Structure 1
């Protein structure tokens, strides 16, 4: 019975992450039509992202306290309902400033889902399950562009896409509300009495002795360089992922001459390859280890970015989009799983929340900066911005590992 309940809970967690990805998949395709309707410049997208990021950071910081009060099931129900109201509000809003306020509401719902489920899966499940949890996010962002593209083709408007996803989110909120009691039946002893298992790079258990290291204070963690390096990793990576997701449609449709349908399809292919990559990474995570997965991913992403910049013919640029999506796939969950190895046990809990906040800032800041540069120069600057951020991510990752390795030795 317990095994069946645990299986149901992880399936519900996957569904929650699908719902988390759907809104992100909508915006990149909707933006050209959205900015035309409101008569906005290309880089106004940054304002919308700042609103969403502010809400995301606020809710991620308090999600632990709210989860303890409400329980994870009710937290998911409230969060899905919040995002549903924001998305339906997008479809109804007559003024641009209302969309900015709704973006804040959308971020509040998304941040609570993200932080709460990352902590839940990291506590109760393996590195493999973490990869598959984030693959569920990929399913959501793959479906989002398809839904928005279908709405644009059928009606010529972007609002129906937001209506469809908003109503689906309301349905999910009801499901989580009805199943909220299942999350409460999981005994606290399961967490407190389960021995801590540390893994080497290949995923093999090296010890099952309970970890007795005293947690560091938040102030101490904030003074630790390895913690800041870990935050920079999430800042750079999430910015890369969302810059690619948000600006690929505009790059193809407005700069490289592709049709609306083709550009929307390739945004979905980007996220689809992203999802396939995470499914495969989950299958091999325990064999390869998160460090090898991340290094291989960064190498593939660099190759794909060079191809996207070079673009000698359309097929090369399109292939690069799929390759980059596949390459990015294991990085975020791999970085989450590797937190202990980068910062040590004393800083792990503090760093987890700080990383999620840094991811939110990067997810808004780098796409917004790319939009500013694209408005000043051209959309062809976006692949160059990707390359710069990817090189920074690679350097920060090497520094984070080498610094902690020296400290540990």
Structure 2
């Protein structure tokens, strides 16, 4: 929810601080920058603190950052607060995904999809909260997030208190050279790039090909709803099929849907299909990663950080490609990224099978 508040709050931020559109967008950028730093920082100290401490500290940072953003008297302090909240966001993203990936045994893939579906619910609720309060009253939405995050700190008492044992030094050294890890990094960067690219450029593309602004906005909302629903729908499937088989179908499906988005008449439905197919990728890939690299328990932190980098870098890089080829090429550019993720998935299957043999 916190991450999803920044975009809808832009009109209120511009009025409050006298910002340009790009200046107001820095709030989300600093949030994601803090997120990447939070993932890497908590990954570094995880061996010296308990899982409970990791989650409690992360919620504390989110609460402080959200409250600071709501109450900041000037824009530099608001940006600092956005970075602070992002640190906590990164800790929660890393901490919960990592705990779910290793804590549920054979059910980890299913439970990770349930977890990330709830992340999606928050992303849908965020804009709804700002719409309800009005962009000019964005501070109430951020203040509400601060209260909720603080209230969750005592709820971490159900989490184990033992510190996590660090992996052997030799495993850590080999981690940086692993082709398997490189493959997973590429897979996550590409998939989150597609996810963010569709979310950022779908409405512009649909308006350009002749749909009204309201239809384009509604279709984009449906895309995010399908992304959330897809994680619930895939849960029973994860109990029957291996993660790598699910990811192969997902990559092929979203590539086909993006090609269909080139056809005007079915473009909104095709984008919804992309949301459905891309939904399981992030949570389903983590158990596969832990199985493929059991000696490197912290590999998950690197792919989660890489996914955030993909989300930050994709929209502006796609913008460069769109300037060169036009808005009509949006589905084609995204198809290239999606096709590359399919290639990365097939390559990873070959690598992991070879390692098992």
Q: Give the structure-1-normalised TM-score.
A: 0.73
Per the TM alignment, residue 372 of structure 1 is displaced from its structure 2 partner at its CA by 3.9
Q: State the alpha-carbon separation in 2 of the partners of residues 52 and 373 from structure 1.
A: 25
* 2:216 is the alignment partner of 1:234: no
Q: State the alpha-carbon separation in 1 of the partners of residues 331 and 225 from structure 2.
A: 20
Equivalent residue for 2:227, pick from 274, 278, 295? 274
* 2:175 is the alignment partner of 1:221: yes
Equivalent residue for 2:198, pick from 237, 241, 244? 244
5+ residue gaps in structure 2? Answer: none
Could you say which residue in structure 2 is the equivalent of 1:310?
263
Moved more, 124-133 or 58-67: 58-67
Q: Give the structure-2-normalised TM-score.
A: 0.83
Could you say which residue in structure 2 is the equivalent of 1:104?
83
Q: State the alpha-carbon separation in 1 of the partners of residues 136 and 69 from structure 2.
A: 7
Cα distance, 1:265–1:72 mapped onto 2, change above 3 Å:
farther
Q: State the alpha-carbon separation in 2 of the partners of residues 379 and 33 from structure 1.
A: 28
Deviations 1:208-237 (A, max 9, x none): xxxxx9774323211122211111111111
Per the TM alignment, residue 354 of structure 1 is displaced from its structure 2 partner at its CA by 1.5
Query: In structure 1, the residue corresponding to 2:20 is in which secondary structure?
Result: coil
Could you say which residue in structure 2 is the equivalent of 1:55?
34
Equivalent residue for 1:180, pick from 151, 156, 173? 156
Could you say which residue in structure 2 is the equivalent of 1:355?
303
Question: Is the Cα contact below 8 Å between 2:62 and 2:149 reproduced in 1?
Answer: no
Q: State the alpha-carbon separation in 1 of the partners of residues 347 and 78 from structure 2.
A: 40
* 2:140 is the alignment partner of 1:140: no
Superposition pairs of residues 15-30 of structure 1, within 5 angstroms: 22-29=1-8
5+ residue gaps in structure 1? Answer: 1-21, 193-212
Cα distance, 1:405–1:71 mapped onto 2, change above 3 Å:
closer
Q: In the comparison of the two structures, how many residue pairs are matched?
A: 351
Per the TM alignment, residue 407 of structure 1 is displaced from its structure 2 partner at its CA by 3.4
Cα distance, 1:32–1:252 mapped onto 2, change above 3 Å:
farther
Task: Give the CA RMSD over aligned residues.
Answer: 3.4
Q: State the alpha-carbon separation in 2 of the partners of residues 229 and 149 from structure 1.
A: 40
Q: State the alpha-carbon separation in 1 of the partners of residues 102 and 124 from structure 2.
A: 28
Question: Is the Cα contact below 8 Å between 1:301 and 1:328 reproduced in 2?
Answer: yes
Q: State the alpha-carbon separation in 2 of the partners of residues 180 and 265 from structure 1.
A: 37
Equivalent residue for 1:38, pick from 16, 19, 29? 19
Per the TM alignment, residue 374 of structure 1 is displaced from its structure 2 partner at its CA by 4.3
